[in-house]
């Protein structure tokens, strides 16, 4: 088991000379002093703990992830433990984290790790990327945080920090662009260990200081060189930012349907599911979506359950 490398500790004294050279030292020093003590950053988390956390954290805040993460790792301490279970058990344990397809994808990755890699999370970025359900972000994050490798890890927090500090605009584009990827690669410290710490440190800076709603520049270690701040914080003039509306959406209906199925010990009749939402067209659309996503299994006789296979 390899210890994650993004715990706060002293970093290599020799700062690299890449494009972000003047940013690296203050951001990593700030991280050493201020990083939160989170379970997936502790050595005992190992590469599987890092992978589980990355799946959970992609669209869910830390405080909601923490209890589910702890229960998940206690129940399935290795990929093979999860791989033995029905995928529906992963959906059940996912609880209310939202975007439950992530639970199925994590289960699928655990099966592939068990079958192809003897139960150990692979160390190579290409092998990680080849696992089902793992995209560029997760492969880079696991390679960087679990194995201390040099990869551009571009989540929403990092993208926001780079867009402000370096590009000089308040918000990054709605979807990650090739220009952002290029910039993130150019800014990577040259040596592996510093690069992995830089990745974790920029992510933490975006989560704690340079947040979407309320940047606290007086606490920011790179305020003196932040392009957006130095330009007088010009207002966002790009495309409208995506909202996070939940109430009344199909996502909300899906969440209510899944909540019933998670609690059920036996297959659930359609009539019970019908009680969760009054509007029949939207309710049917949400249920159809869950079935086609593989999150719910329809059975003969109008019964439904979480998937067994």
Interface with ligand SF4, residue 210, by CB under 6 A: yes
Interface with ligand SF4, residue 220, by CB under 6 A: yes
Interface with ligand SF4, residue 223, by CB under 6 A: yes
- Only one of the segments 19-27, 57-65, 106-114, 207-215 lies at the binding site for ligand SF4 (rule: CB under 6 A); that segment is 207-215
The smaller minimum CB distance to ligand SF4, of residues 105 and 164, is found at 164
Using CA atoms, how far residue 196 sits from 122, 147, 202, in Å, is 17, 9, 10
Interface with ligand SF4, residue 86, by CB under 6 A: no
Binding mask 131-170 for ligand SF4 (x = CB under 6 A): ------------------------------x--xx-----
Return the C-alpha torsion angle 67, 71, 72, 74, nearest 10: 140
54 belongs to the catalytic site: yes
One of 25, 54, 89, 215 is an active-site residue; which one? 54
The smaller minimum CB distance to ligand SF4, of residues 65 and 169, is found at 169
Q: Are strands 297-299 and 268-269 parallel, antiparallel or unpaired?
A: unpaired
The length of the chain in residues reads 309
Instruction: Quote the CA–CA distance of 284 and 268 in Å, as a whole number.
Output: 15
The smaller minimum CB distance to ligand SF4, of residues 3 and 223, is found at 223
Sheet bearing 297-299, strands edge to edge: 268-269, 303-305, 297-299
Contacts 24+ apart (CB under 8 A), 259-268: 259/96, 261/296, 261/304, 261/305, 261/306, 262/91, 262/92, 262/95, 262/306, 264/305, 266/305, 267/299, 267/303, 267/304, 267/305, 268/303, 268/304, 268/305
Instruction: Quote the CA–CA distance of 24 and 119 in Å, as a whole number.
Output: 35
The smaller minimum CB distance to ligand SF4, of residues 158 and 306, is found at 158
Interface with ligand SF4, residue 215, by CB under 6 A: yes
Please provide the distance, in angstroms rounded to a whole number, between the alpha carbons at the two ends of the chain.
29
Q: Which residues pair with 156 in a beta bridge?
A: none
DSSP string, 161-183: HHIIIII--SS--SS--HHHHHH
Among 217, 260, 284, 291, binds ligand SF4 (CB under 6 A): 217
- Only one of the segments 21-29, 124-132, 142-150, 219-227 lies at the binding site for ligand SF4 (rule: CB under 6 A); that segment is 219-227
The smaller minimum CB distance to ligand SF4, of residues 223 and 291, is found at 223
Among 209, 261, 268, 306, binds ligand SF4 (CB under 6 A): 209
The smaller minimum CB distance to ligand SF4, of residues 54 and 155, is found at 155
Interface with ligand SF4, residue 228, by CB under 6 A: yes
Among 6, 229, 254, 283, binds ligand SF4 (CB under 6 A): 229
Instruction: Quote the CA–CA distance of 92 and 89 in Å, as a whole number.
Output: 5
Show which residues are catalytic. 54
Instruction: Give the binding site for ligand SF4 (CB under 6 A).
Output: 161, 164-165, 209-210, 215, 217, 220, 222-223, 226, 228-229
């Amino acid at each position: 088991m390899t210890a994650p490398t993004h715990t706060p500790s002293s970093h290599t004294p020799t700062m690299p000379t890449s494009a972000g050279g003047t940013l690296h030292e203050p951001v990593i020093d700030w991280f050493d002093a201020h990083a939160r003590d989170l379970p997936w950053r502790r050595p005992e988390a190992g590469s599987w703990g890092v992978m589980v956390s990355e799946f959970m954290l992609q669209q869910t805040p830390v405080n909601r992830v923490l209890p589910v993460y702890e229960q998940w790792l206690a129940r399935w301490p290795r990929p093979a433990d999860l791989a033995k279970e029905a995928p529906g058990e992963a959906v059940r344990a996912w609880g209310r984290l939202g975007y439950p397809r992530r639970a199925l994808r994590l289960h699928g990755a655990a099966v592939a790790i068990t079958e192809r890699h003897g139960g150990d999370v692979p160390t190579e970025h290409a092998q990680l990327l080849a696992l089902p359900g793992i995209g560029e972000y997760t492969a880079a994050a696991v390679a960087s945080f679990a194995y201390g490798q040099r990869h551009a890890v571009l989540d929403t927090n990092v993208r926001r920090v780079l867009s402000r500090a370096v590009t000089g605009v308040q918000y990054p584009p709605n979807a990650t662009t090739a220009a952002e990827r290029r910039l993130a690669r150019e800014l990577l410290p040259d040596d592996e260990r510093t690069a992995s710490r830089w990745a974790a440190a920029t992510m933490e800076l975006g989560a704690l200081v340079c947040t979407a709603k309320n940047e606290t520049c007086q606490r920011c270690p790179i305020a003196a060189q932040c392009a957006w701040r130095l330009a007088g914080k010009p207002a966002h003039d790009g495309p409208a930012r995506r909202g996070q509306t939940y109430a009344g959406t199909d996502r909300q209906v899906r969440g209510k349907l899944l909540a019933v199925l998670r609690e059920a010990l036996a297959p659930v009749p359609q009539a019970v599911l019908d009680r969760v939402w009054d509007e029949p067209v939207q309710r049917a659309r949400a249920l159809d979506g869950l079935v086609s996503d593989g999150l719910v299994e329809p059975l003969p006789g109008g019964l439904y359950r979480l998937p067994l296979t």
